[in-house]
Structure 1
Amino acid sequence: MKNIQPIVQSLLCALLALPAAAFAQELPSDTNASAQQSPEPLPAQQPAMQNMEAGSMENMNHGMHDMPGKKGKKDMKGMKGMKGMKGMEGMEGMEGAGNPDQPQPGPPVGSLPRSDGSAGKPYADYGITTRMGDNALISQLMLDKLEYVHGKSDSMVWDGRYRLGRDLNQLWIRSEGQRAKGRIQDAEAELLWGHTFAPFWTVMTGARHDFGTGPSRDWAALGIQGLAPYKFDVEATAYVGSSGRTALKLKTSYDLLLTQRLILTPELDANLYSKDDRDRGVGAGLSDASFGLRLRYEIRREFAPYIGFNAVQKYGKTADFSRAEGTPAHDFQLVTGVRIWF
């Protein structure tokens, strides 16, 4: 019996060592490699490890092969007994690390400025910028009319403008006129400074120069242009010239969209003067008015050919001056042209 007892003890020790060897073989290769590269001794177990239940230790055999997949998440239920790891050195913050979906706490109440701007600190102190990059420098040339006019006297007509500036302040160059019989008959050019004082409305100030038939005239200009209710484009400009001359020009138009590309535009113009100017064929009062209707097709937004008509009527002394030169006071004109902007 004395010889058998040592043999039995050796067999029991070998049997107890088999589960540990099998568990070590199931560990991933990278775990074994890291263990070989880190020969440093593990810290001594804390007393809390001794309190782990036997059932928890059994649940630790949760199939390390399934860890990369979703199945391993189900087997992690056996880790509930790991709460005792608080006692291990460096493992104090691991209890809440298993819930990545937990929302992060927001900033404390009152830490950001109020939206009405009444806070004691400006927005810049919080790293918040209120300036938007939407005030770019804009350069645009638009020819509203570049047309051939067929009436009692054929001619070429232009009406265009150039704009350079930002949202609030712009430099404007406006010009319109008529060329017939190989020379400019009546034309004007304006150099204006515009300031946007309200949404869709700009006040204009500058100078105007008249040229063509007769002596040239210079005027100081002050006006307004913008988009009136119901989307009417409105332009009204008053002028003051030499010798007490004053003038007023009114223009309005409306774009009626028949389709997204086919647009019908009625337009009404009128000119008024305070004094007669025989040299330029202008009489006091309502000098002339015209009504036009143009139908354009926008092949592109920047290029739109059109056809239409104009009805021109001269009044008062202006009509008398026109008849004296052999030109009728009323004219019905057919027009065809193109509208361009870039």
Structure 2
Amino acid sequence: MKRIPALAFALVAPAAWAQHEGHDMSSMQGMPGMSAEEHARMMQQPQPPSPSPALPPPTAEERARAFPDLDGMDMREHMDDDPFIATLAFDRLEAFRDDDANGLAWELHGWAGGRRDRFEWRSRGERIGGDTRDGELELLWSHATGPWWNRTLGVRHDFGEGEHRDWLALGVEGMAPYKIDIAATLYAGEDGIGARAEASYDLLLTQRLVLQPRLEADAYAGHDAPRDSFEAGLRLRYEFTRQFAPYFGYEWSTTGMHGGGAGGHWVAGIRGWF
């Protein structure tokens, strides 16, 4: 009968040793006084799961099964990273009263093309008392130099009561930090050179009510060149939709655009695009 405990110990010892074989016993060092109960609780803690093996990349047959041709309705053929898009925008289409005469001012632009390269056109000017003053038309090629900036190159034609002039145009346009829209253009003509800088910012008072301050400076040099001018405007618009927003505001200018000198007037108009 004395051989039974020895035999039981021989059978249980390998299993106990296998249970403790996967544990790092180095963590037990430096823990004097740990009881058997505490040691048992520590041994019962769940071990971190082993990392799952990496999945192999899908084969061509698996891709074909995942994206089958649905009788000519395979959407992969219709997906384009650079689609052709065309738009027309009315940045300013407004009425005002100046020198006891009714006036109408416009600033339009449109473009057609892709994300990186597109054809762009712009027009601006005003009519006072039925006569067109300082009208402009620009035809430009626009190339994206980054996610926020475009480079433009083209021609500009002046029309109206003043001299009809033609210019080469080179500029940049885009969005500066703090979401400030900026455009700067250099002009070169037969009788002079010029430059224009514009900046505007949309301040959201509510989800639909937007206050827009705007600055513009024009400078020219040469024989029979347009006069220098500076404009500052503040317009408050209400966006019924993103495509349609009536507004009113006040604009102040120094020379040229409103018959010379300096002065300001109230404006009311519509902003939209489609």
1:127 to partner: Cα distance: 6.2
Question: Of residues 321, 328, 331 in structure 1, which corresponds to 2:263?
Answer: 331
Which residue, 116, 133, 139 being the options, matches 1:185?
A: 133
Higher normalized contact order (CA 8 Å, seq sep 6+, divided by chain length): 2
Pairs aligned (count): 210
| Displacement of 1:223 | 0.3
Aligned to 2:161: 213
Q: How does 1:4-153 map to 2 (within 5 A)?
A: 107-108=55-56, 133-152=80-99, 153=101
The CA deviation at 1:255 is 0.2
SS at match of 1:230: coil
CA distance in 2 between counterparts of 1:331 and 1:149 reads 13
Structure 2, gaps ≥5 residues long: 1-51, 65-75
CA contact (8 A) 1:192 1:205 kept: yes
Matching residue of 1:94? none
2:213 aligned with 1:266: yes
How far apart in 1 are the matches of 2:253 and 2:223? 20
| In 2, Cα distance between equivalents of 1:156 and 1:239 | 26
Which amino acid in the other structure matches residue 211 of structure 1? F
Higher relative helix content: 1
The alpha carbon displacement at 1:235 in A equals 0.5
1:275 corresponds in structure 2 to: 222
Equivalent position amino acid for 1:229 in 2: P
CA distance in structure 2 between the aligned counterparts of 1:176 and 1:137, rounded to whole angstroms? 26
Gaps of 5+ in 1: 1-103, 113-122
Using the size of structure 2 for normalisation, the TM-score is 0.70
Query: Is the 1:175–1:188 Cα contact (8 Å) retained in structure 2?
Result: yes
Say whether the 8 Å CA contact 2:254–2:260 is kept in structure 1. Answer: no
Letter in 2 for 1:162: G
1:262 to partner: Cα distance: 0.3
RMSD: 2.8
Q: Percent identity?
A: 40
Distance 1:158 1:256 in 2: 22
Opposite residue 204 of structure 2, the aligned amino acid is L
Which whole-Å CA distance do the structure 2 matches of 1:288 and 1:107 have between them? 67
Deviation per CA, 1:10-67: give whole Å up to 9, x if none.
xxxxxxxxxxxxxxxxxxxxxxxxxxxxxxxxxxxxxxxxxxxxxxxxxxxxxxxxxx
Provide the C-alpha distance between the structure 2 equivalents of 1:227 and 1:218, rounded to a whole number of angstroms.
Answer: 28
Q: In structure 1, how many angstroms separate the alpha carbons of the residues matched to 2:54 and 2:111?
A: 48
Residue 198 (str. 1) matches residue 130 (str. 2):
no
- Secondary structure of the 2:145 match is strand
Q: 1:187 to 1:304 in 2, by over 3 A?
A: same
Q: Which residue does the alignment assign to 1:257? A: 204
CA distance in 2, matches of 1:273, 1:105: 70
> In structure 1, what residue type is equivalent to 2:248?
I
TM-score, with structure 1 as normaliser: 0.57
The AA in structure 2 aligned to 1:228 is A
C-alpha separation between the residues in 2 aligned to 1:164 and 1:191? 12
Report the AA paired with residue 190 of structure 1: E
Distance 2:134 2:201 in 1: 25
Aligned partners of 1:151 and 1:331 also within 8 Å: no
**Structure 2 CA distance for aligned equivalents of residues 312 and 199 of structure 1:** 33
CA distance, structure 2, for counterparts of residue 186 and residue 127 of structure 1: 61
Match of 1:172 in 2: 120
Q: Return the match for 1:290 from 223, 231, 235.
A: 231
Instruction: Tell me: CA distance 1:155–1:272, structure 2 relative to 1, closer, same or farther (3 Å).
Output: same
